[in-house]
């Protein structure tokens, strides 16, 4: 993980909008079909909104019909971290940016081949670079 002294509360408040802060730092979830990228399929790379780390590539993005950007694999498995999430009475796997710890979304075992995974990611936590 990157230098934790860089990622202070002051850094997050200056870098993120209130909605991005709610999602990335408070583990929030944006409403389905409302995020900036849920229906965008342009070529490019998706980076962490908080630190710029490369997280996903457009080649692995697919329409899962769930209302959030969905990817079948990260750009690099070392770019993300996974943790158990038992909130809201559910058993899920949370996906975080390995570099800065920002909450990205969750991963589910119902994606397309070959991975069989669906990385369900909040638009507020990523930024597309075309």
Which residues are designated catalytic?
Answer: 120
Q: Where are the alpha helices (DSSP H) in the chain?
A: 9-15, 18-26
What is each CA distance from 116 to 42, 111, 124, in whole angstroms? Answer: 23, 4, 24
Nearest to 91, CA basis, from 107, 102, 78, 104: 107
Task: Count CB neighbours of 89 within 10 A.
Answer: 5
Are 66 and 119 in contact by the 8 Å Cβ rule? The answer is: no
Q: Distance (Å, rounded) from C-alpha 32 to C-alpha 105?
A: 12
DSSP 43: S
């Amino acid at each position: 993980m990157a230098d934790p002294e860089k990622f202070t509360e002051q850094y997050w408040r200056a870098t993120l909008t209130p909605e991005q802060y709610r999602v990335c730092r408070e583990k929030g979830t944006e409403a389905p079909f409302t995020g900036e990228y849920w229906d965008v399929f342009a070529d490019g790379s998706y980076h962490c909104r908080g630190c710029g780390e490369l997280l996903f590539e457009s080649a692995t993005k697919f329409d899962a019909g769930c209302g959030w950007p969905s990817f079948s694999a990260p750009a690099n498995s070392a770019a993300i971290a996974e943790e158990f999430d038992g909130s809201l009475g559910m058993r899920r796997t949370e996906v975080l940016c390995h570099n800065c710890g920002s909450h990205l979304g969750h991963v589910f075992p119902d994606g397309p081949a070959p991975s069989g995974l669906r990385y369900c990611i909040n638009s507020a936590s990523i930024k597309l670079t075309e």
